[in-house]
Every structure is written in C-alpha cells, then in structure tokens.
Amino acid sequence: MANRSLLWHLIALFVSISEARAVPRPNVILLVTDDQRADTIAALGNPLIKTPNLDNLARRGFAFHNAYCMGSTMGAVCNPSRHMLLSGRSLYRYRPQHAEGTFADVMNKAGYVTWHFGKRGNTARAYHKAFLYSGYLDDTKERISGHHGRAAADRAIDFLKEGWDREQPLFMYVAFEGPHDPRVADDKGMSLYRRDDIPLPPNYSPFHPFNNGELLIRDERLAPWPRSPEVVRSHLHDYYACISSLDYQIGRILGAFEDIGQLDNTIVVFTSDHGLAIGSHGLFGKQNLYEHSMKSPLIFAGPGIPHGSSQALVYLFDIFPTVANLVHASLPADIDGKSLRPVIEGQADHVRDSIILAYGDVQRAVRKGYWKLIRYPQVGVTQLFHLGKDPAEVKNLAGDAQTSQRVAELMELLSSQQQYYGDTATLTADEFQPAAVDQMFFERNMVSPKR
C-alpha cells in the first residue's frame, strides 16, 4: 500500500513537472521612444493626444506614474539613460565597455533569442553587442521622413514573421528615434490636432526664472527667447503628431505578434529614455530636473500582469531586473535596479522611499513622498515643491519659514543619496555665479536662437 502511494506521488510529481515545462516561457518586447514625456498618453491623463494603441496597452497593463531617468553627466541625456536601462546600474556605476551582465547577456543565458534595432546616436553601443541580432537606424533620415517609427517597426515585423524560428522565446528591444527633433510628421498626423486648440503647459513661461547652468545648450536654442505661446504650440503640434505616428507603428508591431499567435504570451514593456520641456518653465530641452524632463511613461502588460497603476518611485534601470524576475532569469548581484514585480502583483506599494536626480555638476534633486527639492549649486538657488498640491512645480516653497526644516531634511537626504550612489558633486560653491536671467542674458552671450 505504501509502495502504491509512493508510486502515485511520483506520477503526480512527474505530471506536474511536465505541465510546467509545457507552458511556454513568455516573450518580451521592450519599446523605448526618444524624448517622450510621461504625460503624453491619453489613457494616462492627456485628453488631447491621440494614442489608441498605447491606450489599449495601458488599459490591459500596469502603469507606473513616477518612473524617472536618474539624470545625466552630459547634455545628451539619452546616452546615460540607455546605459542605465540596459545595465541595471545607476548613473555613476554603469560600465559602458562591459556587455557581460547586461540585459541582453542575461536574457541570452536564460535561453532567449535576443534582437535589437533602433537609434544610432547617443546610445549604449557596447551593450548592443550582447544581442544575437543588432542593427541601427539612420536617425535623422527617420525623423524627417514624416513617419516616426516606421523603419524600426518594419524591421521588427520582418524578424517576427521571417527571422524568428520560435523554437526559443524572444527578447526584442526596439529603440525608436522619435519624437526627438527634428520632428517632421506627415499630413495625416498633423491633421489629428488643431494648433490653436493645443493648451500651453500649466508651467509655461517665456523665460526660466534663473540661470540653471544649462540655458545655452543646443536643445534650448531650438526656439527664440522669450518663448512665445505661438512657438510653443507649434513645437507641441509637431511633437504630438510624431507621438501619434509612433503609436501607430507600435500598433503594427503588436499586431504582428498577434498575427503569429504570440501576443498573449508576450510581456510588453513601453517607456522612453526621459521627457522634454517644450515650453515648460521657459525651457525646451531635457537638461533639467523638473518632472516634465526626468519622468517617462512606463507600462508593463502581458501574461500574469494585472491591470492597475502605482505611484511608487521607480527608476528606468528597474526595468531590467523586473523583466528578469518575471521570466525567472538570473541577475548579477551588484546591480542597482530593483524588481518592481512585488508592486505589480500587489505585494508591496513601493521598492524605495526616495529618488535622487542629477544633471552635470549644475543641478541636483531629491524626492521623498510628495516633497521634491532641487538644488543649483553654482548659483546658490534652492527650489522646494509639494508635488501633490503643485504637480507642475510652479510654487517654490523653499523661502517659506514654515518649510525651512523640510529643506534642511531634504538637503541632508540628498547628500546621503549622493554618497550612496557615488556622486561626488558639491551642493554649494565657494562663490556663486549670477542667477538673474532676462533677454539681455541671451544677447550678452551672443546666442542666435533658431527654429
């Protein structure tokens, strides 16, 4: 009798193992746009923009509303952003010449076919060598083609239908070239929007209120000073039209997964490398630490991922360990990213209490809860915002007597976070530079803005 019981137990165990092996591992597709703000998806709160395919993704998936690029050591913010994303390491710890232990390397070792195609400029070139298949766009050609995302979508669809034998699960990384400038959309995309109906950002301003240390960089010279409502609306019109073009191409890629019967077994991750100002705070680029420039949309959808959303503070370099955790791949022990799976599955409401942001040696920021502090060491300016009451970061509370203790606490937190992540920049200067900005500031510096 005991032997019969043991036999049935072994049979049940064998059947259980066989069934587990029979369930195909999920494919993964990582879709990354270039310069797309977090507030540019209709389903996530933008009533004007047309993004039906991303809306569908958000409605069936899980969205993170506070996903941040940690920052940059250079004007090309996308460069370190993509290095962090593909390595799972923070701004001062990624190793740009080491492909071992990066996203593609880990997925290769987990038995995945790894495929990459996307933008060529300012990107993590060495990390792409770990992909079994890798290729690049002609970035400018695509941006002026009128069809942002079409070439990358064409290549992805070709591989899905002709190049992938489906004997192994697929990890696909599509790095779109848009909506980065130059932004040229076709008539169909432009006709989706009436320029006069496009609202100005709630934090629109003709000038940034002070010198943030990077007012004269290339991105800021895309429009003249003062920033007029007409020019801001013109740029936003182009920007929205290009995002709608990208949305269409993303729909084509997801449709191809459905055509080959793989969409239901595919984890889809959508994000961008960072945001962009386009008139917010009198700025046009991403070389600042405001929400509009450091936050990106972040959506996970697919098998086992419930519909929902979270206000948890996360970094884009959390995507790598999250995907690895979802597909049971082994991770390097020394990465900085944290798996967001506990948040997605409702087992936790956050994975970290605070985040630090950095740009060059001229800007630092820290956020904890709704409170956010931005420090500009070279001009001695501090900003304090309560993002729950002031999400557009318009009212600086740093000078209020009742917030002095809050400022001190956040400055201490910022300093400790710098130490933790290996950021050696000072938060003050021996002698402050002038902070005032007006039209004469740009004329004195002989800047010749151009469209």
User: What CATH number is given to the structural domain containing 73?
Assistant: 3.40.720.10
- Quote the pLDDT of residue 334: 92
- Quote the pLDDT of residue 208: 97
Residue 15 lies in a domain: no
Q: What is the pLDDT of residues 140-161, one digit of tens each?
A: 999 999 999 999 999 999 999 9
Of 353, 381, 402, the domain-final residue? 353
- Quote the pLDDT of residue 448: 53
Residue 365 lies in a domain: yes
Tokens describing residue 312: 């948890």
User: What CATH number is given to the structural domain containing 433?
Assistant: 3.30.1120.10
339 and 244 share a domain?
yes
121 and 51 share a domain?
yes
Of 353, 386, 402, the domain-final residue? 353
- Quote the pLDDT of residue 49: 98
Residues 6+ away with beta carbon under 8 Å from 229: 200, 204
Percent of the chain that is helix, strand, coil (3-state, to 5): 35, 20, 45
410 and 330 share a domain?
no
Rg, C-alpha atoms of the chain: 23
Residue 7 lies in a domain: no
418 and 314 share a domain?
no
pTM of the model: 0.93
326 and 417 share a domain?
no
Residue 189 lies in a domain: yes
339 and 400 share a domain?
no
Rounded Cα distance between 302 and 88, Å, is: 22
CA-based angle 24:27:33, to the nearest 5? 170
Cβ 354 vs Cβ 368: under 8 Å: yes
440 and 342 share a domain?
no
413 and 286 share a domain?
no
342 and 404 share a domain?
no
- Quote the pLDDT of residue 26: 98
Tally of CB atoms within 10 A around 380: 14
Report the number of distinct structural domains present in the chain: 2
Q: What is the pLDDT of residues 15-67, one digit of tens each?
A: 334 433 445 899 999 999 999 999 999 999 999 999 999 999 999 999 999 99
Residue 137, CA distances (Å) to 119, 148, 238, 315 in order: 5, 11, 21, 26
221 and 347 share a domain?
yes
183 and 303 share a domain?
yes
Residue 406, CA distances (Å) to 311, 363, 368 in order: 21, 19, 11
Q: What is the pLDDT of residues 252-285, one digit of tens each?
A: 999 999 999 999 999 999 999 999 999 999 999 9
316 and 270 share a domain?
yes
Rounded Cα distance between 185 and 241, Å, is: 6
Of 327, 353, 379, the domain-final residue? 353
Domain that holds residue 32: 25-353
Residue 18 lies in a domain: no
> Which residues on adjacent β-strands are paired with residue 34?
none
| pLDDT of the chain, 451 residues: tens digit per residue | 445 554 454 444 443 344 334 458 999 999 999 999 999 999 999 999 999 999 999 999 999 999 999 999 999 999 999 999 999 999 999 999 999 999 999 999 999 999 999 999 888 889 999 999 999 999 999 999 999 999 999 999 999 999 999 999 999 999 999 999 999 999 999 999 999 999 999 999 999 999 999 999 999 999 999 999 999 999 999 999 999 999 999 999 999 999 999 999 999 999 999 999 999 999 999 999 999 999 999 999 999 999 999 999 999 999 999 999 999 999 999 999 999 999 999 999 999 999 999 999 999 999 999 999 999 999 999 999 999 999 999 999 999 999 999 999 999 999 999 999 999 999 999 899 999 888 888 878 755 544 4
- Quote the pLDDT of residue 122: 86
CA-based angle 290:421:180, to the nearest 5? 40
Residue 153 lies in a domain: yes
Cβ 296 vs Cβ 275: under 8 Å: yes
